[in-house]
Chains A and B, each alone.
Chain A
Amino acid sequence: MAVLIKINYKNMDRKKTKYLNPYIGGILLGVVVLVANYVSGRGLGASGAVKNTVITTAKAVAPKHVENTGYYQEYFKSHRNGDEPANPMKSWLVFEMLGVLVGGFLSGAIAGRLKLKVEHSPRITSKRRMIFALMGGILFGFGSQLGRGCTSGSALSGMAVLSLGGFITMAAIFGTAFALAYFFRKNWIQ
C-alpha cells in the first residue's frame, strides 16, 4: 500500500512538470518561424539582440572609442535610419527577444516552474556549473558573431530558407558538441 501511494505521488509530481510533446513543440516552433518569415520576411534570432545591446552600451560608455573602432564603424555604416545611424535597440531582434522573456516566463508560471536556482547534475557543484556556464557563454557569444548568427538565427532560420550557410553552421554546431561530449561528460552524466 505504502509503495502504491509512493508511486502515485511520484506520478503526480511528474505531471506537474510535464513538458509538451517534442514533436508538437517542434511543429509549433516551425509555425513561429513561418509566421516571422510571412510577417517580417526574416527568421528568428537571439544572439543579434545581444550584439545590439553590446554596441549600444559601448556607444554610451565610450563614444569616442566606438567612433574610432572598425567593428562599430562597419555596423553603423550598414545600419542606417535615413541619414542618421540607426538606433541598435530599435531593432526587430531586440523586440523579439523581449517577447522571448515574456513568453518563457508565462509558460514557466503556468507550469509551476518559476524558481531561482542553479540547475546542475548532482555529481558536480554549483560553482563548477557556473564556471562552465560562463565559459560556454563566452564561446557561444564569440562563435555567434563569427558565424553570423546562432542556433536560432543561423541554424534553424537558415535551414528554413534552405540557406547553404545555415546548413553548414547547423552541422558544425551539433557535430562539434557531439565530438566534444565525451570530454565534458562529468558535467552532465557521470
Chain B
Amino acid sequence: MGPLIVYEIISQNTNLLLAFFIGIGFGWVLESSGFSSSRKLAGVFYGYDAVVLKVFFTAAVTAMLGLLFFSLFGWINLDYVYINPTYINSAVWGGVIMGAGFIMGGFCPGTSFCAASIGKIDAFVFIGGLFIGVLIFAEGYPLWETLYKKNFLGFPKISEALGIADGLLTLLVILAAVGMFWVAEWAEKKFPQPEY
C-alpha cells in the first residue's frame, strides 16, 4: 500500500535516494520532449509549437487517472497524499507573476534546470534570476505576508468545490484536454514557424 514512505515500507534516506531517481526520470522526460529549448516552450503562446500544452495536459490527465485507479485497486491511500493548500489570493497573484516571468524568460523553474544541464547559457541566467526573486520574497516578506496568507480555504479538491465526484471531474478534464489538443494541432498548422 502506498505512499511507501507513509506506511514505512521505505526509510527516510531511501525516500531521498528515490527522489533523486524520480528527478532523473523528470529531467529525462523534460529534455527529450524539447523542454530544454525556450523557443519551443514559448511557441505555445504564439501557436507555432504547442508541445508545452500537449505534454503538460497529457501528464496531468495521466497522473490524475493513475491516482484514481491506484486508489480504486487499493494500492494507494489518497488520504496520505499531499494535497496543495488553497490560498485564493496568492494562488492567483503568484500565478499572474509567474505567467509574466514565463513569457519574458521562456522557461519555468523545472525546465530552466533541464536546459542548463545541456548547456543553455540563457537558462543559467534565468536560474540566477530565480535565486534573486526568491531572495526578494524572503527579505521583503512582511510587505506581502498579508496577501500570502489571505483567504485560506484549507486543502479542498476542485471536485469538492464544484460538488461533483472525482471521476466525473477527471472525465471533464480529459474532454477539455482533448479539445485543447485539437486546437493545438490546428494552430501549429496555421502558424508555422521556420526552423529553430
Q: Which residues of A contact B (CB under 8 A)?
A: 19-20, 22-23, 25-44, 46-47, 50-51, 53-55, 58, 69-72, 90, 92-93, 95-109, 111, 113-121, 126, 129-130, 132-181, 184-185, 187-189
Contact across chains for B101 and A139 when beta carbons are under 8 A apart: yes
Contact across chains for A140 and B129 when beta carbons are under 8 A apart: yes
Contact across chains for A106 and B129 when beta carbons are under 8 A apart: no
Contact across chains for B27 and A99 when beta carbons are under 8 A apart: yes
Given A26-B58, A132-B104, A172-B95, is A37 in contact with B128 using a C-beta cutoff of 8 Å? Answer: no
Contact across chains for A25 and B135 when beta carbons are under 8 A apart: no
Return 27 A-B CB contacts under 8 Å, by A number.
A20-B32, A25-B33, A38-B3, A39-B2, A42-B82, A47-B109, A50-B127, A90-B16, A116-B121, A132-B104, A133-B129, A137-B112, A138-B133, A140-B129, A142-B133, A145-B138, A147-B93, A157-B63, A162-B83, A162-B158, A164-B160, A165-B87, A172-B99, A177-B99, A180-B99, A189-B46, A189-B193
Q: Which residues of A contact B55 (CB under 8 A)?
A: 22-23, 25-26, 29
Q: Which residues of B contact A141 (CB under 8 A)?
A: 101, 109, 129-137
Identify whether the interface residues of B are mostly helix, strand, loop, or mixed.
helix
The smallest beta-carbon distance between A150 and chain B, in angstroms, is 5
The smallest beta-carbon distance between B46 and chain A, in angstroms, is 5
Interface membership of chain B positions 119-157, coded 1 if the CB is closer than 8 angstroms to chain A and 0 otherwise: 111110111111111111111011011011000010111
Q: How far is the CA of A146 from the CA of B141 in the complex (A)?
A: 10
Q: How far is the CA of A179 from the CA of B102 in the complex (A)?
A: 12
Q: Which residues of A contact B118 (CB under 8 A)?
A: 104-105, 107-109, 113-115
Q: Which residues of A contact B120 (CB under 8 A)?
A: 117-119
Q: List the 8 shortest-distance A-B pairs measured between CB atoms, nearest first.
A: A136-B105, A137-B129, A99-B23, A147-B94, A141-B133, A26-B58, A172-B95, A30-B62
The smallest beta-carbon distance between B131 and chain A, in angstroms, is 6
Contact across chains for B122 and A164 when beta carbons are under 8 A apart: no
A44, A103, A137: most-surrounded residue (chain B CB, <10 A):
A137
Please tell me which one of the listed residues B59, B90, B95, B97 contacts residue A33 in the complex, with CB atoms under 8 A apart.
B59
Interface membership of chain B positions 79-113, coded 1 if the CB is closer than 8 angstroms to chain A and 0 otherwise: 01111111110111111111111111111111111
Please tell me which one of the listed residues B58, B82, B137, B138 contacts residue A161 in the complex, with CB atoms under 8 A apart.
B82
Please tell me which one of the listed residues A100, A113, A132, A138 contacts residue B132 in the complex, with CB atoms under 8 A apart.
A138
Contact across chains for B139 and A157 when beta carbons are under 8 A apart: no
Contact across chains for B101 and A138 when beta carbons are under 8 A apart: yes
Contact across chains for A96 and B26 when beta carbons are under 8 A apart: yes
Contact across chains for A34 and B70 when beta carbons are under 8 A apart: yes
Q: How far is the CA of A11 from the CA of B19 in the complex (A)?
A: 38
Q: How far is the CA of A170 from the CA of B15 in the complex (A)?
A: 28
Tell me, yes or no, whether B21 is within 8 Å of chain A by CB.
yes
Contact across chains for B132 and A180 when beta carbons are under 8 A apart: no
Given A97-B113, A139-B105, A164-B157, is A54 in contact with B145 using a C-beta cutoff of 8 Å? Answer: no
Please tell me which one of the listed residues B33, B100, B138 contacts residue A72 in the complex, with CB atoms under 8 A apart.
B138
Contact across chains for B62 and A31 when beta carbons are under 8 A apart: yes
Q: How far is the CA of A71 from the CA of B55 in the complex (A)?
A: 35
Please tell me which one of the listed residues A34, A35, A143 contacts residue B98 in the complex, with CB atoms under 8 A apart.
A143
Given A42-B81, A43-B82, A108-B118, is A69 in contact with B139 using a C-beta cutoff of 8 Å? Answer: yes
Q: How far is the CA of A72 from the CA of B134 in the complex (A)?
A: 12
A72, A104, A119, A160: most-surrounded residue (chain B CB, <10 A):
A104
